[in-house]
Amino acid sequence: MEASPGCSKPGYTSTLCVAGSDEAAAFPLPTVREAFPRTIRLVPSARLREAVMTPLADNQDEHYLLAEIESATSGRLVAEDRGTASLPVSELVHGVAHAKFINASFAYAKPRQIMRFNPSDRGAWYAALAVETCIAEVGFHLTQALADANDFNAVVEYGEMLASMAGVFVDLRGMSEHACLDPDPAVGYPAGNVIAAQARAADLNGIIYPSVRHPGGICIAALRPNVVQSVVQGGMHRLSWSGTPAYAVEHLE
Q: What is the pLDDT of residue 6?
A: 43
Q: What is the pLDDT of residue 49?
A: 52
pTM of the predicted model over 0.75: yes
The CA distance from 36 to 102, in Å, is: 17
The CA distance from 166 to 245, in Å, is: 37
* Mean predicted lDDT score pLDDT of the chain: 81
Q: What is the pLDDT of residue 23?
A: 64
Q: What is the pLDDT of residue 48?
A: 57
C-beta separation of 137 from 213 below 8 A:
yes
Give the chain's residues under pLDDT 50. Answer: 1-20, 50-57, 60-83
